[in-house]
Structure 1
Amino acid sequence: MISIPKLSHKNSGNFFLMAGPCAIEGEEMALDIAEKIKNITDRLQIPYIFKGSYRKANRSRIDSFTGIGDEKALKILQKVGAEFDMPTITDIHETEEAAMAAEYVDVLQIPAFLCRQTDLLVAAAKTGKVVNVKKGQFLSGEAMRFAVDKIKDSGNDNVILTDRGNSFGYTDLVVDYRNIVAMKSFGVPVVMDVTHSLQQPNQSSGVTGGRPALIQTIAKAAIAVGADGIFIETHPIPSQAKSDAANMLPLDQLEGLLENLIRIRQAVAG
């Protein structure tokens, strides 16, 4: 089982939650979202990891928002973790980022498009941090065995795998829930990235679309088939978010969703 510092409610029997804004837009915004989600997850006894990208490297257009500055955003993530005594997670994109980001966060995330990049996986593993690898939209769940092997063979057994859908044509994604079952067979926690799996990429406008009305559907099905964790990007006003606005969950809808998911988890366990 993975070991994540500061992860509370470990023995609650609930799924764990990775949630937060797509990108760190500022300190006040990050602290506000973290506090609101922590209050919810504490009440529901859901283990919680705060998510925020310190930099967005995979953007459709050159004028898309990429971040507020690496060090500034990483220090905000560090402050969130310290102030609320919670673990934090952020993406890395190149090998030299692994050691840098590891000084500020508890979990390093490998983006889906980079899940086969051996040097990046090895660099993340060698930090000793938990490594969350997102399954590529172009891969089966079975193929993610090799990502797990690369990290474990580098001396790090703390691996999480996250599904975020599969490419369906040029501008859509679908979720094949067999991938959750396949990835769980590797003996690592498996997460469903609900909001990213509802993206509609490669739009002619250069801005990714989304179908947030299906967030409840995707999340419920994932818990029903045995996902260990749920990944959700959320924002107080998604339309004003600087990244992934089209597929984020309004923050005021998170509590109700989590309550529904707990009931499904309990029914499946029972």
Structure 2
Amino acid sequence: MSGMSGIVPNPIQLQLARNSRFTNPMFTGRAPLVPNAGVPFNTALQRPGPFYPPLNPALALSPLQPPYDPYAPYPYYTDPRYSSSSSSSCCDSAANSNSKSDFEFKVKDVTVRGKARSVRASYLLEATKFESDLVKYMDKKKEDDVPDKVVDMLISWINRENYANKDPFDEVTLNILASNVGCKSILDHSLGRLKKMEREIDGPELVKIVGTIYLSSKIDDGLKKWLVKFLKGDALWRDLVNYRGYLDMARERPEVDAELMRALGLMQQPDDKGLRSL
């Protein structure tokens, strides 16, 4: 590897390749330190937590850092004492707060899954179907499908034209939610943020993003085009289709694999001539 010191590898490709079903002499073959690697695709799309080595409860010791793995996705270890995830989540939640006291303009409470959120009244007068569409859509979705914080992000955009978020999967979920409830103004803004987060997407999260996009309805064309462009960059799709997590998902949901292959131009559109779709 010394002759390659000037090359900065794509961290996503490294992670995908070392979890491939094929033996690659460039990688160690050790179990990856990522959550849920190799676990069949979950249609609920639950988010895994960070990896923590086991503790010794009797000694009340902090977890020891595992041996250095040059091919583990960065960061390959998270010490809860120094993790910023909880603090950033709290900051995001505060930034996306939507209570009456936060605003000087007139608002109206919209109750979604039992939680009231204050929404700019002038927006509701313009988008007359937004409230009913949002409530109806969210009544069908569980917290695992559309987390409350994603709803808060959408309402924050309506009230402030801004929101806080650092999670690419949540950004994709927000884009799909907005498309389904007719909030078109956020779509381009969300895509711009998503492009800036591309370096933060790891293997397991990429599988969830692909599955979510091709299993969901009313997807904005811009989101699909972003995914295809992202996967074609550095030929990332070649590593993805051999990635263990993707293979598990494709086995559970072959229609997702077929749709992705067609989008990448690797499979022809089906010839439905003579068939009846009822």
**TM-score (structure 1 length as normaliser):** 0.31
Give 1 or 2 for the bigger CA radius of gyration.
2
In proportion to residue count, which structure has more strand?
A: 1
**TM-score (structure 2 length as normaliser):** 0.30
